Amino acid sequence: MSDPKTTEGRIPRRDLIKLGTAAAAGFVAKGVIGDEAKRLPPLPSNPLTPTAMPTRNLGRTGYRVGIFSLGGQSAIEKADNFEIAVPLIERALDLGVNYVDTSARYGGVDERWSERYFGEVMKRRRAEAYLATKSHDRTRDGSWKLLERSLELLKTDHVDLWQMHALSRMDQVEESFAPGGAIEAFVEARDQGVVRHLGISGHTDPEVLIAAIERFPFDTILLALNAADPHHLSFKAKLLPLAVEREMGIIGMKIPARGLILKSWTAPADPESRYAGTVPGTLDMREAMRYVLSLPVSTVIVGCDDIAQLEENVAIARAFNPLNEQQLAELETRAEPVHKQALFFRNWNG
């Protein structure tokens, strides 16, 4: 019998296809497969969403998502911040948000504050929100450990979307898809009914995410997009059209670039800060959100510092009307003077 591995130690393409589309045939060892798999509950439904904001298809998942969704950073990743973070999540659901995003990395890899805060709400309101979290580990066993702890902290027996977090380099893709790599845990978890859908995320290099998409039929992609995008390693140019072609759910992030693209941005006084020397941005939040929502995305996730920011973002989503090509180009031109700070998360070394 021939060795099923390639000379590079990777799973051959034919087996990756089997892994993605026919794991029940026996390729996955750990998963509980077929009729024995846990039956997932119906997709979440927040009854307030349809009147709160426009909705769009989350790719081929069958879910209708509000165009504004809540990210698990900012106030929701700060340590010992229950008094701010939990009411913020509650208010988001009350305003009609029906998609929330967190990660095993947010708020510290040990403390995982973001998942803790979401868990305090999910234990009572799980059926109202499509719940997404992530694994930053590139191995099967390591990813399983992260997922098991995520379920415990989120106080749920399943998540709706599990994502490979922040694929930034080709070696991370290679490790994730090698024998014993993270993709095995992802497929096993899906086939066991522990997760509903599978996705990837990334900020740094579009070619890395394209390579991952070409290896596996992920349901969603979480990608960094803002009006500065065309000025360096554009995700809009090649990655976004590919995701549309594959009918993926497309979630935009880094819309205000942690505030660095906004006119209201003030650089920190601390000279040791990573943001020292930055200057005020050139857009307001409405322009920043309208830009990304005018692209073929399903929703955008934004972390909020407080309820006032949350309410502003929901209001922008409620009143959204798309920009035309000329208007998009004008915002891109305006963002160009601050594109390096607005794309701080991109690869600037290669």
Q: Is 290 part of any domain?
A: yes
Query: The domain containing residue 255 runs over which residues?
Result: 13-342
What is the pLDDT, as a whole number, of residue 31? 36
- 299 occurs within a structural domain: yes
pLDDT tens-digit map of 43-100: 999 999 999 999 999 999 999 999 999 999 999 999 999 999 999 999 999 999 999 9
Is 55 among the domain residues?
yes
The whole model's pTM is what? 0.90
Residue 184 included in any domain: yes
Q: How confident is the model at residue 39 (pLDDT cuts 50, 70, 90)?
A: confident
Our count of domains for the chain comes to 1
- Whether residue 240 is contained in a domain is answered as yes
Question: DSSP assignment, residue 39?
Answer: P
Q: Please compute the mean of the pLDDT values over residues 16-40 and round it to a whole number.
A: 42
> Is residue 134 domain-resident?
yes
pLDDT tens across 54-69, in order? 999 999 999 999 999 9
**Residue 2 belongs to some domain of the structure:** no
What is the helix (H) or strand (E) element at residue 302, kind and residue range? strand 299-302
> What are the distances in angstroms from CA 126 to CA 59, 71, 149, 151, 154?
22, 16, 17, 12, 9
Q: Say if 23 falls within a structural domain.
A: yes
CATH number where 76 lies: 3.20.20.100
